[in-house]
Structure 1
Amino acid sequence: MKQEDLIHEIGQIRSMMERSSKFMSISGLSGVLIGCVALLGALLGYYMVYGTKSEFGYRDYYILDTGIIFKLALIAIVVLLISVAIGVLMAKAKAKKAGQTIWNTTSKALLKAMAIPLISGGLFCLILMSQGDYGLIASSLLIFYGLALTAASVFTFKEVRVLGILEIALGLLALALPGYGIWFWALGFGVLHIIYGMIVHEKYEK
């Protein structure tokens, strides 16, 4: 066997080993759908806070009654549940097509890696809500979600790490400009997910 062929074979074996140690059942199209759901949620939230005749502009104050806060929290929970359902169902379908299962050692490790940042972020935002610091919630969710993605990226597509870093960057911008919270929410959870999903679908699923 020539040296070039040997190097090629070693590369193939290494690639197979890397793929076997990563969770590859995440569907790119699910990212697109989740992004669309997030955009719809952000649109509904914007309508509830600003109304239909508002203009795009910076807002550095928040006078929201508890009714609106409850509705916004409900929208966020519904968007989260729908997104999780879409992700799980489409991952199962992709894994089934490949003759695999989504519940394995790698997926468990991925969930464990995401758990600490997500749980910490959720509790942190609940504390912010209880203290009336509503302007920091959108930025905090983006930052903690980005941290969860970067932690989980070790076990799946490398594009997840890029998505996580971009989410953190948007979260920091939202922290500096709290008056644009809903817009950053739409960009982070909506637009970025759609772009990420299209890239993953084009690169790994065609």
Structure 2
Amino acid sequence: MTVPRAYFVIGPAGSGKSTVARLLARQTGAAYIDKDTACTRFTEALLELAGTDRSERDLNPYYHSAVMDLEYLTILDLARDNLAVGRPVVLDAPFGRYFSRPGYLAEVAERHSWPRHAEPVVVRVDTDSDTARARVRARGCARDLSKLADWDAFWRKAQDNACRWSSRHSLVFDNRADGVTPDAVARALGGLADDDSRAPGLTAR
């Protein structure tokens, strides 16, 4: 049977996660799940109700303690619903809060009742500091103001936060100024082992 995959597209702000994630979704026929699209409206409402800045994330203790986990729980449930009907998913979100937990992907599959045969693929998008900062400036989001105010500190923190997840499959894309092409994504996907014929329950979780 076909094994539905969950592509976790990770990287710091300005790395170009969304560009790579959309290319992956187009080429795999996956459901594209963007945390910002799925959660921004209720996140801003919650922050405003709590009397905090609706646009601030990085320096907002209420967001980190009460809201951020809800965002991730939401998109991971959406992923489950798609995987359950055999549809692959592409998750476009930073996930940095969870990088230090090697067993995080197995925890996700268990907590969200993902199908046992679903398989995670970690997709890391890399870039350099100058390219990332230029992209963040160009998108003009209010939630990025605190990053840009002390970009060097933000970038050091992002680089120090290595992803320690245990995963049988991973892809890495260099998304500096020249960007990632559809052909590069197709080649990377072609390099993944074909597990479609494996029996349910035998794939790593």
More strand by share: 2
* Structure number with bigger Rg: 1
**TM-score between the two structures when normalised by the length of structure 2:** 0.33
More helix by share: 1
**TM-score between the two structures when normalised by the length of structure 1:** 0.32
